[in-house]
Amino acid sequence: MNIKTTTLDGCFIIKPKVFDDKRGYFFESFHQKKFQELTGVKTQFVQDNQSMSQRGVLRGLHFQTGKFAQSKLVRVIKGSVLDVAVDLRKDSSTFGKHFSIILSEKNKLQLFIPKGFAHGFAVLEDDTIFSYKCDNYYNKLAEDGVMYNDPDLHIDWMLDENEIQLSEKDESLSSFKEYNLQP
């Protein structure tokens, strides 16, 4: 496992050691002790989620609030996505900044997103399977989000606007300014 820092404090790219041969491949997708030693982050994942989506689907930017905040470890099992993390920690030097990376079945990269971040992804290939571990249980009453196309965030989602498919919930998320005005 190789860990690389990103432009956002506490957000890490994880590259597993992949063993390829004529039969296929094998890799350790997570190892608690190695992760903690290499990142300094103590976390215990309690919930795994998986989605399958078609090209153009955009999920996000989501987060859980208060005591239900979640750190996530995300990866793609099949296909590819543009994965985006936005720092919402008001006391952070990178508050309001984002980091994006292509995660795919080919590169097998993972992204660790700490609590206090919004997260979203744009699907770049049909039948993409996305998987993520969370260190806190989902709570519907604590869910929140920021609009994917907020002009203050300047995120390039690598899709044409007419390709983007959103859920009803994601169409009505607040702006970054509205989020920023909350206590």
Catalytic residues: 62, 132
DSSP 19-81: EEETTEEEE-S--HHHHHHHH-------EEEEEEE-TTBEEEEEEE-GGG---EEEEEEESEE
Residue 146 has what DSSP assignment?
A: B
CB 119 within 8 A of CB 74: yes
